[in-house]
A and B are shown apart, each in its own frame.
Chain A
Amino acid sequence: MSVRTDVDSVLAIDGLEVVYNRVALVLKGVSLSVARGSVVALLGGNGAGKTTTLRAVSGLLAHERGEVVSGSVSWMGESLVRLSPDRTVKAGVVQVLEGRRVFEHLTVDENLLSGAFTTKSLRQARQATSVVYDYFPRLADRRRQHGGLLSGGEQQMLAIGRALMSEPSLLLLDEPSLGLSPIMVSEIFEIITRLNVDTGLTVLMVEQNAEAALSIAHHGYVLENGRVVLDGTSDELRNNQDVSEFYLGLSGVGERKSYRDVKTYRRRKRWLG
């Protein structure tokens, strides 16, 4: 897989290899690039290395005993490898963790304020909350409630809003649709699109829900077993037979397909071929 060399690529990952616990090679040379102001989806099954890729960008590997052993992650020309999470956030890159991870015992307001820890004073942060509340009016109604008492969708909004408080240029989203109702998923994805269009926020998103992800992404990468096996524009991916079969759950004529018929070896062969 060759590295794309778009002129306005802000994030470039090249030949990235990540090892957990010094033994388990999870990423085996991932290369991808994200253009300024674009929404990029990272697709793939469980254990493909999607989350690891995000963590390598945001600097959150250490806590999982992961380590970048080879390759590069460059953000606007500067290397993010081995940068601590606080420096990464200051550089404008922030990750929304899988499973939302809101501060359950802090109020919605306090959750948001904590998102601005690295970049703003408390007073500046208080003013900045109004911007987030504009995008997520549901949160504004609940600003005094504890984060743990919100619904799953509201928690996801809070997690995204909290990350936005540091005014990032690149937002890393890990499974924003996880465990949410279809209505909530489309509401959240609409807001992500609006953020992208309004503010030029660049988004790199990991998703199992390929359909939802490709509906708002400009570009997509498919990861499998620690490698990028396919990439293309969202339309290209949607029209790709393998992607539609394995990730969108559609076969050629749209009839339902049993998982028993899925032959993994076939896609490996074809993509790695």
Chain B
Amino acid sequence: MGEFVQLTANGALLGFMYAILAMGFVLVFKGSGVINFSQGELVLLGAYVVSWVLATLGVPFWLGIPLAALVCAVAGVLIERFALRRLLNESMLALIMATIALGSIIRGLMSLIFGDRTRSMPEILPTGTYEVLGLRFSALMVWAAVIGLLLLGALAWFFSKTKLGLAMQAVADDRVAAQSLGMSLGVVNATAWAIAGAVAALAGFVWGSFLGVDGRLIALGALIFPVVILGGLESIPGAVIGGIVVGIVESLSAGYLDDVVGGGFSTVAPLLLLLVVLLVRPYGLFGRPEIERV
């Protein structure tokens, strides 16, 4: 029983880290209707920029992390402006292809600029363990969860209390109607990408602290899909809940099944879960079916 609780708790913390990854993806989809296949690369970019600002430039973290977030936000705006704006009225498929191309370009640029050597993230987040009620938690993951919660709060505020947040929701709902009211798709899309860039910097910081900074971070992009399909493509709280579910499934199958079925089953488990969810609720557990009046 103790082991079960411990695994579940670890999984939940892991889930927050997935949620931070997924939020950037959800933001882009919500704000510009693009299914972003380059989210993994964006996180890699974030990780490199954070480690560069903190380690190479030696900027203190309280200034360095916002600075890195700003740099990545600018990168997001540039991506929107130069890669995607021309495709504004094109089909979803064209947009998806463009993000895949974008991913290749970022990947190439990163190894060109930063080389292939694994960089380490400066130890800003504590690395020890915390013990609470007989359960042991990695301090790193606890702080990652705190960052995830703060991010969730900030985004919830943005969407419900600001004009641009409202406009982003309107654009996600009906682009043409939003345009007819004078909302500029360009401005709204650029905002979505800017925030997604900033969030990617945070995700890069958290995951870079966890795994080290190198091309392997890109693989995280694939883990986003079970999370966002579970949580619904356009729901930020859904990303958190989806992340937690995926985290717990992964942690439990690592604890109980990996020894039985052979190593590595835990990495497949979230994807199996994804398949089952798609069969039962194609719009995700917390996504919304299209409202249809009869």
Binding site for B on A (CB under 8 A): 58, 60, 62-63, 65, 84-86, 88-90, 94-97, 101-106, 110, 113-115, 117-119, 121-122, 125, 146, 148-149, 151-152, 162-163, 166
Contact = CB atoms under 8 A, between A and B. Distances in A.
Given A122-B163, A148-B291, A103 B180 contact: no
Interface in B140-194: 161-163, 166-167, 169-170, 173-184
A110 B166 contact: yes
Contacts of A90: 182
B181 A114 contact: yes
A221 B179 CA distance: 27
Interface in B263-279: none
Given A117-B163, A148-B291, 10 more contacts: A85-B179, A94-B181, A97-B176, A101-B180, A105-B288, A106-B166, A106-B173, A114-B167, A117-B183, A163-B181
Contact of A86 (B163, B184, B291): B184
Interface of B: 89, 161-163, 166-167, 169-170, 173-184, 288, 290-291, 293
Given A101-B176, A103-B170, A104-B291, A63 B182 contact: no
Contact of A89 (B161, B181, B293): B181
Given A114-B183, A148-B291, A122 B162 contact: yes
Contacts of B181: 89, 94, 114-115, 117-118, 162-163, 166
B174 A86 contact: no
B160 to A, nearest CB: 9
Contacts, number: 94
A63 B293 contact: no
Contacts of A118: 181-183
A90 B170 CA distance: 18
A126 to B, nearest CB: 11
A91 B79 CA distance: 31
A97 B177 contact: yes
A167 to B, nearest CB: 12
User: Which of the listed residues B89, B163, B288 has the most CB atoms from chain A within 10 Å of its own CB?
Assistant: B163
A105 B170 CA distance: 8
A102 B173 CA distance: 9
Given A110-B166, A117-B163, A63 B179 contact: yes
Contacts of A58: 180
A117 B291 CA distance: 24
Contacts of A146: 291
Contact of B291 (A88, A94, A105): A105
A105 B182 contact: no
Contacts of B162: 122
Contact of B169 (A103, A125, A162): A103
A151 B291 CA distance: 12
Contacts of A89: 181-182
A60 B176 contact: yes
A103 B176 contact: no
A148 B293 contact: yes
Nearest to B176: A63
8 contacts: A85-B180, A85-B184, A97-B177, A104-B291, A105-B291, A106-B166, A118-B181, A151-B293
Nearest to A120: B163
A65 B174 CA distance: 18
A110 B169 contact: yes
Given A65-B89, A105-B173, A114-B166, A86 B180 contact: no
Identify which of B161, B166, B184 gathers the most chain A CB atoms within 10 Å of its CB: B166
